[in-house]
Structure 1
Amino acid sequence: MNNPDSSNAFVVLPPLSEHGVIFGKNSDRPQGEVQEIIYFSSDDSLQTRKCTYVEVELSGPTKAVILSKPNWMWGAEMGANECGVVIGNVPITTNHSNGDDDDPKVKRLLGADLVRLGLTGSSTASEAVEVITTLLEKYGQGGPCFNDTDFCAHNSFLIADSKCAWVLETVGKHWAAEQVTKGYRNISNVLTITTNIDKKSEDLLEYAKAHGFWDGNGDFNFAEAFNKKEASSACFKAGKKLLENFTASNNFKETDMFAILRDDQSEICKPCDAKFPTQCSQVSVLSSDRPSVHWFTGTAHPSKSVFKPFVFTKNPAISKHTQCLSENVSIVCCH
């Protein structure tokens, strides 16, 4: 099972950013796959929800959300909710995929399902971590995350609000989370949490020792324990370098995040003829003293696309042209 070198997510926090917390993500998906931008209002009538493959119980009313999602699945690549929480995920393959609870080929919750469930069920980034990890431990994760392939993976999440950000990385039902309160952070298709673990699944260390990934000596390093040896960190390193360069002025703006997502040389932005082109992009400016603004391209190749803003209001108007009428459609990337 080869891991596509796809999708990158970024966050920049004060004092490096000019106006609040700035989040960005490129969604790299198979050629021809359609990605929709869809608004869903809040709902207090649901007790269960049928996700892509499995049904889950809901713990309360859902928040209104704006989602960027492949048209064939229930879940989302990225999105935001009415409370100013944003989430994006990227697929990762780990060195452990054996056993019923850890096999990513078994159809359970997709990482994209957890993105949507985290957004509809949370008011803060910290609460989103709790929502996702509770569902992960109860239902597990797995199943094909591309419509026409058997590629399956575990997941890494970047979660943010106007106060802080969290990186949440997973191996089956096991997980580690790192809080980010200043500076910048990015995720790509490798595990990036090392020894700075602020929250974790209860039996994580015992699990790692039992399967020979940690000998119990020294500080536990999550990425060192579970990353596949052949996993490439090129995109992660390139993204980190871009963040370093663009934040050097301590005046990082949403236009700087646009530029990072449009960077062709680093392959953060992947062209339309790539196996996994960048099919949609999101940038969010999260503020506690004014409305948060969420920018989406809704189209492929951000360096040739326009970012369009969305703000949560009482009765938002969303174009009908951002949603597909059928799952059985594909697109040709052109501008």
Structure 2
Amino acid sequence: MCDTLVALPAKTKNGHLILGKNSDREPLEAQELIRFARRECEEKQVACTYISIPQVRETFEVVLSKPFQMWGAEMGVNEFGVVIGNEAVFTNVKFRKDELGLTGMDLLRLALERSTTAKAALPTIMDLLEEFGQNACGGYQNKDFYYHNSFLIADPDNAFILETAGKSWAYRKVENTGSISNGLTIGEDYLEVNWKNEPRNFQKLFAGKRENFREYFSDLLYTTAGKSKLRQACTLGFLEKKEKPGVLDFIQALRQHNVAYGEFESKKATTGSICMHATGFTNPSDTTGSMVAEVRKGQPSTVWLSGTSYPCLSLYLPIYFGKELDPKVFSPGANPDQSLWWQAKKIHQQILKNYKKLQSEYRMQLDEIQTKWIEEDFKLIQLGATEEELQLFSSLCLDQYMDLLRKYRT
């Protein structure tokens, strides 16, 4: 399960587009933070998660948050300020498991590497979907986890919601604020639609009528079990209550458990939480990574990335374009190591044993630090800080975070 939300510049505190996303995955599927520079490509093929496809002549600089073992990414931003988050959606279109295709994460990364605007990212994904499909397992240890995808795609000026079912798709433009979760939302309000598939039991259920994309393709059972409507209402309602939401508001939105503050118990968590805590078969996912991107026009963008699980127990680090991310810190493996993700996981596991008592104190420290970081980032951008000054600030934030984790380990 995942959630993605966006506010356009006219709606936000500082007049810049902001997009936030939680990546909900299997609990031990560590999330990697990685940056790829712009490059001229000599190879003719690019090996994605399951299949190889033709490579383009040039790929753009990207900052990604992705499952450590996947080629594609859950969320990311490119050098032009194109930012994308994707969601698993459950449809009644059959998967052809004998015809491997691209994952939704592959489509997201390919769109970021190849698109200079949000509007250009739309046909990039549509064309790839048409040619290669999305018959691909999205799970880690769960090899039966297949799903289709929706995307929230934005740049400094615009945002679009693109939803898919097999090779079918529909998209609409976002006005002011928008959010998506693990269910189709586009009915008849699409700007464009492409009907390529028929649902299972097509003749019996629909008798040839196609108008409403959501009703036509939704799988009611999985969509309902995932409580996507509840979570979408939670994130969208949070934004709409804020006259001018800023970065900290987005972080707070992504930390929600959809219950009154202080009443949440991680052992009783459900799929209705925005910050997801796995509890078993009916609620198998943790939030394993989170991002809030403030995308600026004519100024450096700031990509706030947790690089850790559980937003309610995490800080968001400011990441800027232009510098490689240290793989020793940001590239975790399958087993516990010295990376940020696994070191934070140790602290999280301690707190989860007595969440109500320990989370409050820890969260107070996080909030104080996070607020100062956001204020300092604003000052640096306003003063026209150099790339070196921004990178130094990012490094200092990381040092402070690692010091905090060491304090709690001892």
Amino acid at match of 1:269: C
Match of 2:110 among 114, 117, 126: 117
Distance 1:43 1:171 in 2: 33
Match of 2:183 in 1: 190
Give yes or no for the alignment of 1:229 onto 2:220: yes
Amino acid at match of 2:315: V
Distance 2:301 2:206 in 1: 42
Match of 1:3 in 2: none
Amino acid at match of 1:279: T
Match of 1:320 in 2: 327
Amino acid at match of 1:153: Y
Match of 1:138 in 2: 131
Native 8 Å contact 2:9 2:156 kept in 1:
no
Count of matched residue positions in the alignment of Structure 1 and Structure 2: 319
TM-score by length of 1: 0.88
Native 8 Å contact 1:15 1:250 kept in 2:
no
Distance 2:230 2:27 in 1: 25
CA RMSD of aligned residues (A): 2.3
Give yes or no for the alignment of 1:271 onto 2:303: no
Match of 1:96 in 2: 93
Distance 2:247 2:297 in 1: 16
| Higher RCO (C-alpha under 8 Å, 6+ residues apart) | 1
Q: Assess, with a 3 A threshold, how the Cα gap between structure 1 residues 30 and 249 changes in structure 2: closer, same or farther.
A: closer
Give yes or no for the alignment of 1:10 onto 2:5: yes
Match of 2:365 in 1: none
Distance 2:98 2:172 in 1: 27
TM-score by length of 2: 0.72
Secondary structure at 1:15 match in 2: helix
Secondary structure at 1:28 match in 2: strand
Native 8 Å contact 2:32 2:332 kept in 1:
no
Native 8 Å contact 1:271 1:277 kept in 2:
yes
Match of 1:172 in 2: 166
Give yes or no for the alignment of 1:200 onto 2:193: yes
The within-5 A match list for 1:153-164 is 153-164=147-158
Q: Assess, with a 3 A threshold, how the Cα gap between structure 1 residues 125 and 214 changes in structure 2: closer, same or farther.
A: farther
Native 8 Å contact 1:185 1:240 kept in 2:
no
Amino acid at match of 1:113: D
Task: Say which structure is richer in helix.
Answer: 2
Q: Assess, with a 3 A threshold, how the Cα gap between structure 1 residues 246 and 197 changes in structure 2: closer, same or farther.
A: closer
Distance 2:48 2:38 in 1: 17
Match of 1:23 in 2: 19
Give yes or no for the alignment of 1:73 onto 2:73: no
Amino acid at match of 2:320: V
Q: Assess, with a 3 A threshold, how the Cα gap between structure 1 residues 325 and 241 changes in structure 2: closer, same or farther.
A: closer
Deviation string 1:225-270 (CA, Å, 9 cap, x unpaired) is 0001222263433333443343334211111100010002350001
Percent of aligned pairs with the same residue? Answer: 33
Amino acid at match of 2:255: R
Q: Which runs of 4+ in 1 moved over 4 A?
A: 206-210, 213-217
Task: Tell me which structure has the larger Cα radius of gyration.
Answer: 2
Amino acid at match of 1:324: S
Match of 2:373 in 1: none
In structure 1, runs of 5+ residues without a counterpart are 1-5
